Structure 1
Amino acid sequence: MKQITDTILMVRPVAFRMNEQTSVNNYFQKNMNDPDLNISAAREFDDFVKKLKAVGVNVIVVDDVLEDNTPDSIFPNNWVSFHEDGQVALYPMFAENRRKERRLEYFSKLEEAGFKITDIVDYTAAEEDDVFLEGTGSLILDRVNEKAYCAISPRADEDLLIEFCEDFEYTPVIFNAYQSVGDKRLPIYHTNVMMCLGEEFAVICLDTIDEKKERKNVLKHLKQDGKEIIAISEKQMHEFAGNMLQVQGTFGKKYLVMSARAHRSLTEEQVAKIEKHCEILSSEIQTIEIAGGGSARCMMAEVFLPKA
């Protein structure tokens, strides 16, 4: 099993804006006074793709559909995950207007690129019961050690997580993660804003796991699997320093991909720890981060499918 891949599926935005349906529990989103919001987001998207391709990452870009009016289509990792055995998982989404993002025609683009899909595991019927699990936003998958880390939230249901783990033979590592919003501690909407898992390391905001027992358990699993722990503060998490993804470029060279904003928030010591394992690749995506409430990792759906 591989933990990282050299192939990424990304969706170019055509109707990007702050999604009013997701802002109810995504406390990273902010209103932006930009009449050309989609133009700014598309420019950031294109620059980001260019940087990934320049280091040899195979980026498969598909275009959003204007008529569907899907403001968050730029974050495909929430509705789909691709697996080495040819399985594809489809996930139930909290916001109704995000459900249209699940476009199966994108899969033919992957098949045209030589990938094989053997089976689709569809969890989307859970939406009828208001039960959600938003893909690799909710699930941080340790594919090698077959563990699924998940912070429970309105977008990550524990029972559905366990069902996923049974279907895909993962061990669930369940915890609660909170952020300070005003004077309240509220659940973080997606695990992948507070945690990133590389081949040999984990970037994690331990300060968000308020329950000491749960924090200890997460650390136990990471250490058990030989991961170097790179701890970030809650302040850095708010700069999207937890929302990173390790990928592979030309000649197997490895990169930790993040936004420029996340990169700027890191200390010299944290950068040195990361660079022991791989190079940092960062791109300016401020518009996407502020209005969308997601960052670099959310924009990339990793493709682990076998070649046909």
Structure 2
Amino acid sequence: MITRDLQAFFAVAATCEAVAPACAKAVFMVSPQGFRLAGQSATDNCYMQMSASVDAASAHAEHRALQTAIRGCLPVISFPGDTDTPDAVFANNVFAVTPERLIIGHMRHPIRQREAVRDDIRRFFTEILGRTLIDLGMQPGICELTGSLIIDRARGIGYCGLSERCDEEGARAMHAAFGLRATLVFDLAEGEYHTNVVLSILAGRAAVIAPCGFRDGRVPEAIAGFYGGGVVRLSPVQKADFAGNCIALNGQDVFLSARAAASLDSRQQAFLGASGFHLHAVPIPTLELAGGSLRCCVGEIY
């Protein structure tokens, strides 16, 4: 089922037992070769800091340190970047991996569409790992995968925020490609480009939500209600600092940028700790100039 109806969605979600693996078994990343701020992306990404100067060496150092930090929890596969694709470091928008499939998104901007046709990444997942290719770039709907669609993998349900980076047709295509039991579709607030800046589901048992990132305030409250006491609500300032762009790499370890972690207050940090999560804060200030943060850099392999 894919719907905008909150009552209908959560009635189905309540029947979906959390039996599937909640977190990935490995991750993949794309290095920031040729990293720079892309003007096309800035047209609908208010988080980009186009006036800033970017030091490529710093971007590489941050990315290597992030890979090292993640390797303490999961295997990491790193693909080289490309000077023609400056946003490629945010690979989770373009490629997604399920136990059966490699899913390729339909990117809005031509500069990001170049990433989707990379033969080496396609061949690695199809020929080496044996996944079936589902190329959503072949259908008309725009859908930037787990940038736009937040998935509770344990239950097989999704939360899809519509914006310039994902339309209703794209949402339907992703719902089918990921094989989800139910997907809730809603509008992001004006100016928001990706859902993963305003919402994260942590290991199927907690939610980090920035209510100001949703067009209709009833949506974040309904999501919060579904996860009961396991909710961290973010302020607009914390959202802008990418606190919502976090990821649980297993049942205990949550990764977020140092900037995002510093924005959380002591009560929020203590709550996550009491919920069984250990926070790993990784400094990526140069990468964040491009309008994404840590979660955007991490592609999951299930």
Normalised by the length of structure 2, the TM-score is 0.86
Whole-angstrom distance in 2 between the partners of 1:120 and 1:111 = 7
Whole-angstrom distance in 2 between the partners of 1:234 and 1:108 = 41
Q: Say yes or no: does 1:207 pair with 2:212.
A: yes
1:114-148, CA deviations, whole angstroms, 9 ceiling, x for partnerless residues? x633311111023xx4x311010001011121111
The equivalences for 1:187-226 within 5 A come to: 187-199=191-203, 200-223=205-228
The alpha carbon displacement at 1:228 in A equals 0.9
Whole-angstrom distance in 1 between the partners of 2:197 and 2:86 = 19
Whole-angstrom distance in 1 between the partners of 2:31 and 2:131 = 26
Q: Indicate conservation of the 8 Å contact 1:173/1:218, yes or no.
A: no
Whole-angstrom distance in 2 between the partners of 1:169 and 1:157 = 17
Q: Indicate conservation of the 8 Å contact 1:245/1:297, yes or no.
A: yes
* 6 and 282 in structure 1: CA distance in 2 versus 1, 3 angstrom threshold: farther
Normalised by the length of structure 1, the TM-score is 0.85
The equivalences for 1:182-261 within 5 A come to: 186-199=190-203, 200-223=205-228, 228-248=230-250, 254-261=252-259
Q: Say yes or no: does 1:61 pair with 2:83.
A: no
Whole-angstrom distance in 2 between the partners of 1:270 and 1:237 = 14
Aligned to 2:188: 177
Whole-angstrom distance in 2 between the partners of 1:109 and 1:118 = 9
Whole-angstrom distance in 2 between the partners of 1:187 and 1:162 = 22
1:189-230, CA deviations, whole angstroms, 9 ceiling, x for partnerless residues? 00000111112101111232242433343334444xxx7111
Give the secondary structure class of the aligned counterpart of 2:248.
strand
Match of 1:275 among 266, 273, 276: 273
1:229-286, CA deviations, whole angstroms, 9 ceiling, x for partnerless residues? 11111110000000001003xxxx6210000000100001111111122111111111
Aligned amino acid, residue 280 of structure 2? L
Match of 2:263 among 262, 265, 268: 265
Aligned to 1:50: 68
Aligned amino acid, residue 193 of structure 2? Y
1:131-184, CA deviations, whole angstroms, 9 ceiling, x for partnerless residues? 311010001011121111011101111122123223413311122222xxxxxx
Q: Say yes or no: does 1:157 pair with 2:128.
A: no
Whole-angstrom distance in 1 between the partners of 2:119 and 2:253 = 29
Gaps of 5+ in 2: 1-19
Cα RMSD over matched residues?
1.9
Count of equivalent residues: 279
Aligned amino acid, residue 194 of structure 2? H
* 15 and 197 in structure 1: CA distance in 2 versus 1, 3 angstrom threshold: same
Aligned amino acid, residue 95 of structure 2? V
* 212 and 46 in structure 1: CA distance in 2 versus 1, 3 angstrom threshold: closer
Whole-angstrom distance in 2 between the partners of 1:298 and 1:215 = 21
Gaps of 5+ in 1: 179-185
Q: Indicate conservation of the 8 Å contact 1:244/1:296, yes or no.
A: yes
Match of 1:134 among 135, 144, 147: 144
